[in-house]
A and B are shown apart, each in its own frame.
Chain A
């Protein structure tokens, strides 16, 4: 049945792409958090200073 082949290909391809995305977002996200907290600290300091 053609649908079996379609879904088999679709499933394994999606799994492979997601694995790559998970690795990239894990590394990139870590650096984004650092920068977010830095930006918010900066903004907080500015609002608290006269």
Chain B
């Protein structure tokens, strides 16, 4: 997208002072990373901070990890395209996280088992081969899921600073990747937890401040009126089929469960907590964070829509004649809006907070997927247990390789759907099978290896929710579309729900028809 907004009279408020704030911030966090390195003595320190996270730090690190810049970007895009109705996703995430906290569903038995990764549980419950398969699928899905992180985050920085050319985007992507690799490879979760805390402080107060400014500048009545005019009923009622619809809402409740109890980056926090009572407390309190991480960015997206829809020049650029924005442009609408409405000085603090948010999420994800690859896909192949030093080295190598993948994938993959839908369905490749294995493995004694295999393979079918994959599989999918009279792509929500039901049915059927001769472990017995 090479649009020179400055020549159209839309100069960014981001100035020299803001650059100083951002650069100063980056220098400080890298110094902290180097300093913290001396505290890392083992793989456990590196991956789960020696299981020493207490409540407030655990909440800060959990919210920070989940409130990354990419979250802000995909959520604001959803707010921009879906209006207030997108709030239901935040609501679903908060309710489900709170219920997981109250009941301890999945996370408490996992913490009790003292596993570091979910596939480690697969091995304890179903055997080593399931661990390797599950770990490989988890890493594949997770790495694919984070494939767009770097690009989306870089789009924020180029959008806010007014550097809108493709060349600038590539430079920003490379610089960001270098910074985050340096930081993550140095310290592991100890430094990640401390950076997460700093990021939590900056991003929380930045979000609150930007929300207040937005309401003051645009006016609440104006915001509501513009959304009504642009999106109609579908902009408020999530069940309205002109907007999201029932299947999407249901899918979002499942995604809420995945985000907090099945997704490895969230579960690793539960595994890092000092006790199971702290795990429950973290989840109950973090439900507010899970709510806010979506809600405020949705609101920024809505504000961007209001700002753009009420300006004829911007309307011509961002909104087509039907009132729907193209996917690429809707992703850049929020950073552009921020660059126009937030005053100089503050915009630097917000950008520093967002870069912190990017680093915090990106380093946690890099650490998470590299440790899954090391612990679950590589280490189980060795007859003699790998030393702590060898695991650390492998983890660091994978961190660099995954980082490079995000650079290449971000530049190469054509995103033809909303970023959130891409994230949800790419994550579902793992999380659907993962849900079946965790829920049944932890709570149903008869769950067997055969059921686990079937559920994992069924979950992989969620890959069909990616628009590019649907395009490639069109000869296979066209008869189904004809049968159900579907025009265009099958919605990723529908595919996700169908695959979820299939995975659960196969888990039950496989376990009943092909039971294990003896089961390895059942956490309910602990």
Chain A: residues with CB nearer than 8 A to chain B? 1, 3-4, 7-8, 10-11, 14-15, 17-19, 21-22, 24-33, 35-37, 39-41, 43-44, 47
Contact = CB atoms under 8 A, between A and B. Distances in A.
B14 interface: no
A11 B56 contact: no
B260 to A, nearest CB: 16
B87 interface: yes
Contacts, number: 110
B54 A14 contact: no
A36 B200 contact: no
A30 B198 CA distance: 9
Given A4-B236, A33-B193, 9 more contacts: A1-B237, A7-B87, A10-B91, A26-B60, A29-B197, A29-B201, A32-B57, A33-B57, A40-B50
A38 B85 CA distance: 46
Interface stretch (B288-296, B344-352, B353-361, B419-427): B288-296
Given A1-B236, A18-B292, A21-B285, A47 B41 contact: yes
Contacts of A39: 50, 52
Main secondary structure of the interface of A (DSSP, over half): helix
25 contacts: A4-B84, A4-B224, A7-B87, A11-B295, A11-B299, A14-B292, A18-B292, A21-B285, A22-B205, A25-B63, A26-B60, A26-B200, A28-B56, A29-B56, A29-B60, A29-B197, A30-B197, A31-B56, A32-B58, A33-B194, A36-B193, A40-B52, A43-B45, A43-B50, A44-B41
Contacts of B85: 3
Given A33-B197, A47-B41, A25 B56 contact: yes
A41 to B, nearest CB: 7
Contacts of A25: 56, 59-60, 63, 200, 204
A8 B50 contact: no
Main secondary structure of the interface of B (DSSP, over half): helix
Contacts of A17: 288
A25 B56 CA distance: 5
Nearest to B239: A3
Nearest to A24: B56
A17 B91 CA distance: 14
Contacts of B200: 22, 25-26, 29
A24 B52 CA distance: 20
The 3 lowest CB-CB distance pairs between A and B, nearest first, are: A28-B56, A32-B57, A3-B236
A15 B207 CA distance: 10
Interface of B: 38-39, 41, 45, 49-50, 52-60, 63, 84-85, 87, 90-91, 190, 193-194, 197, 200-201, 204-205, 208, 211, 220, 224, 228, 233, 236-237, 285, 288-289, 291-292, 295-296, 299
A28 B348 CA distance: 26
B57 A18 contact: no
Given A3-B84, A22-B205, A43-B41, A29 B236 contact: no
Interface core residue of A1, A29, A35, A43 (most chain B CB under 10 Å) = A29
B224 to A, nearest CB: 6
Nearest to B240: A3
A3 B235 CA distance: 10
B58 to A, nearest CB: 8
A41 B107 CA distance: 29
B208 A18 contact: yes
Contacts of A47: 41
Contact of A36 (B87, B190, B220, B296): B190
Contacts of A35: 54
Nearest to B299: A11
Contact of B87 (A10, A27, A37): A10
Given A15-B208, A29-B197, A36 B49 contact: yes
Contacts of B41: 40, 43-44, 47
B283 to A, nearest CB: 14
